[in-house]
Amino acid sequence: MSTPEVNQKSRDTAQYIVCVVLVAVGAFLIYDALTLEPGFAKVDPVGPRLFPTAIGIVLIVLAVILAVAIPRGSVGEADAGEDVDPDAPGDWRTVGLLVGLFIAVIVTVQPLGWVIAGTLLFAGAATILGNHHYVRNIAIGLALSLVSFYAFYSGLGIPLPPGILDGIL
């Protein structure tokens, strides 16, 4: 029993681009993990290299599996239940606002600190994506920022920048 012949024109080259990106990200993770200093995280018994290296290896293995499956005609099944118009234009305003928000957080995380920048990130993203409960967005953003700040600091031994709240947190 032979596999069905795949038409060359129907083959989606975007899948191969995904393979290339997976290999590039996996290779970067492995390289970056191997260049980490062993004393980076002080409370980590396995060291900081294990998880990024493992994730990088998994990404490369998945890229190889996908690259082998593509010429064999393996195509994902279309989701019939999704209510999306593939011909509708993208919402570039929302994308632009989110990119601007991420850039603002990158610029302000050192001077303001993670808790304030993270609150702005979480509340801003929720607002940009359509949630108009502004006070609730800020409250949830503040809670997420505080939890993540202390989870990194206490749980992982990785200090996030306190910014202007240094001495308070």
- Give 112-161 as a DSSP string: H-HHHHHHHHHHHHHHHTT---HHHHHHHHHHHHHHHHHIIIIII--PPP
The mean pLDDT of 91-107, rounded to a whole number, is 95
pLDDT in tens, 22-41: 999 999 999 998 887 766 55
Q: Is the pLDDT of residue 124 over 90?
A: yes
Categorise residue 67: left if φ over 0, alpha if ψ from -120 to 50, beta otherwise. Answer: alpha
* Per-residue tokens: 133: 């409960």
**Confidence label for 130 from pLDDT (cuts 50, 70 and 90):** very high
Which one, of 47, 53, 57, 129, lies nearest residue 91 by Cα? 129
The model's pTM is 0.58
User: Do 115 and 142 form a contact (C-beta atoms < 8 A)?
Assistant: yes
How many whole angstroms separate alpha carbon 72 and alpha carbon 69?
5
How many whole angstroms separate alpha carbon 134 and alpha carbon 114?
20
Q: Is the pLDDT of residue 9 over 50?
A: no
**Confidence (pLDDT) at 2:** 46
